[in-house]
Amino acid sequence: MSAKTATDDTSADPLDQIRRLRDEVERLARERVPPAVAQAAEEKAEAIAAHVRAHPIRSVLIAAGIGLLVGRLMP
């Protein structure tokens, strides 16, 4: 299953899509990323997830701002 396949199904539950994408990323990471890099990335991901859980509104506003900025920079 590719990431494109996981996001093409618009009738599926968004949480199910996220789970499938996470599983695909984890599989690819196990196959292609050295263990030390994988551990560091996992620790950073956990820290970011904890920050998002602690500050959900701020996180959404930051993501929206980044999206707006990227959207303005794209032709």
pLDDT digits (tens, 9 = 90+) for 13-56: 888 888 899 899 888 877 887 888 878 988 999 999 999 999 99
* Residue 25 DSSP symbol: H
CA distance 5 to 31: 20
pTM of the model: 0.47
Structural domain span for residue 36:
3-73
Number of domains the chain contains: 1
**pLDDT grade for 2, boundaries at 50, 70 and 90:** low
Q: Please count the other Cβ atoms lying within 10 Å of the Cβ belonging to residue 33.
A: 13
Is a pLDDT exceeding 50 seen at residue 62? Answer: yes
CA distance 73 to 75: 6
